[in-house]
Structure 1
């Protein structure tokens, strides 16, 4: 009896993060001093943090 693989059974869920000002938090990649740096930025107030969880 063939069954579905483990990866096909998992559902894909993207989580949206929101800033305290009400804006949506998006991830951006910056190239600074020869390194790639991922930062989270609010679309409304332009506040930047290291990761989306830091906006709470």
Structure 2
């Protein structure tokens, strides 16, 4: 009996993070010095942090 693959059973959920100023936090990928860095940036006040959790 063929079952569904493991990847098709997982659910994808997105969590929205918000800055203290009220803006939404989005993730950006930047290339600096030949290295790829992921940074979180607020759309309203343009504050950047390493992770979305750091905006608390």
Measured against the shorter chain, the TM-score band is 0.7 to 0.9
Cα distance, 1:26 vs. partner? 0.5
- CA–CA separation in structure 1 for the residues paired with 2:18 and 2:12: 20
Root mean square deviation, CA, Å: 1.2
Could you state the TM-score of these two structures normalised by the residue count of structure 1?
0.84
For residue 12 of structure 1, report the CA deviation from its aligned partner.
1.1
Matching of residues 1-56 of structure 1 within 5 Å? 1-56=1-56
How far apart in 1 are the matches of 2:55 and 2:33?
25
Figure out how many residues of one structure are paired with residues of the other and give that number. Answer: 56
Listed as ranges, the gaps of 5+ residues in structure 2 are none
Q: Which runs of 4+ in 1 moved over 6 A?
A: none
